[in-house]
Amino acid sequence: MPLISFRSPILLLIPALAAAGCDRQAAPDSQPQTSATATESSAQGEFNGTLDIASRGKDMPDFTVTDPSGKALKLRDLKGTPVLVNLWATWCGPCVLEMPMLDKLGVDNVGKLRVLTVSQDMGGNDKVAQFFGDKKFAKLEPWLDPDNNLGFFYETGMLPTTVLYDAKGKEVWRMIGAHDWSSARTAAMLAETVGK
């Protein structure tokens, strides 16, 4: 009887999966630092997110996020306007690349869509506050979820993860991985929920 090798094709997939997205469960001291000065040409290869509608209709989670000063925001209190919840981290390169586009999306849809970026940095209040201070975003605010409650709730295992909720607080879709939020595809994906 032949011996079964422990070398499996699945083992070959592990490095590829690790490179595909940012690991939201890494310990704080193992979270790599990422420069926020990536060029547009390098960004093109980073926008490979997957649109997922499997959780369509689920209620927005009943979690509270905070900002670096301790101000709290209960997610379910956001009902009444569509909300785009983006999970990101300062150490996640694709996340950082998305941030200016998400800010512009918020500016372009004032009153029609709230773009809520929620950092998954563990103990990263100062890092997040500094990042926002440096970038001077027009619409984005530095919300924090240091215990990764949202990350575990969404169960994607990847950053960035972005979830669209309609005005009733029901999930419409989620984008797992980085996406070009300035694209025509984005406008089409938002059209039904946000309108013109």
Residues 6+ apart with CB under 8 A from 148: 24, 25, 120, 122
Fill in the amino acid letter for 138: A
DSSP per-residue letters across 132-173: HHHH--SS---EE-TT-HHHHHHT---BSEEEEE-TTSBEEE
pTM of the model: 0.78
7 pLDDT tier (thresholds 50, 70, 90): very low
Q: pLDDT for 45-80, tens place per residue?
A: 578 899 999 999 999 999 999 988 889 999 999 999
